[in-house]
Amino acid sequence: MSLDEILENFTYLDDWDDRYRYLIELGRTLEPLDEAAHNDVNKVRGCASQVWLETSVSRDPSERPVLRFKGDSDAHIVRGLVALVLAIYSGHTADKILATDAQELFQSLGLSGHLTPQRSNGVRSMIERIKTDARMAAAHVS
């Protein structure tokens, strides 16, 4: 699902119980992560729940690195947060990833004020992991 569709759907949901249910539904739309990818290399540190992010890098026609992510979590709402983070970042160039402020988007959706501190820390850890991968990919441009 595209980020624009997700944002539009959020605007129709006034009740936070409905928004949490929607996040759970988003998590169900994640492309399955191979069991072998549930490993220490892909595990995101700093999340209370278990979260895994698998990164692949390709090049666009201008030879800029484009990063794609797959993710998973053992918690339903966190899987939804993974889906939202991937909708923001996956399929973009390293430069765009580094320039995108997901925290601002989370605030505009009201998520920042409705997530537990542990979940907020987990989201920050996911975003930092994605940005670290983008920095590494950008550094390897020859």
Per-residue HEC secondary structure of the chain comes to CCHHHHHHHHHCCCCHHHHHHHHHHHHHCCCCCCHHHCCCCCECCCCCCCEEEEEEEEECCCCCEEEEEEEEECCHHHHHHHHHHHHHHCCEEHHHHHHCCHHHHHHHHCCCCCCCHHHHHHHHHHHHHHHHHHHHHHHCCC
Instruction: Give percent of the chain above pLDDT 90.
Output: 63
Catalytic entry in 6, 47, 84, 94: 47
**Which CATH code for domain 3-139?**
3.90.1010.10
Instruction: Give percent of the chain above pLDDT 70.
Output: 99
pLDDT digits (tens, 9 = 90+) for 17-72: 898 999 999 999 999 899 999 999 999 998 788 999 999 999 988 889 999 999 99
pLDDT given at position 128: 95
47 catalytic residue (yes or no): yes
What residues does each domain of the chain span? 3-139
pLDDT digits (tens, 9 = 90+) for 76-100: 999 999 999 999 999 999 999 999 9
Pick the residue with more confidence: 37 or 115?
37
Give the pLDDT mean for 5-11. Answer: 89
pLDDT given at position 46: 85
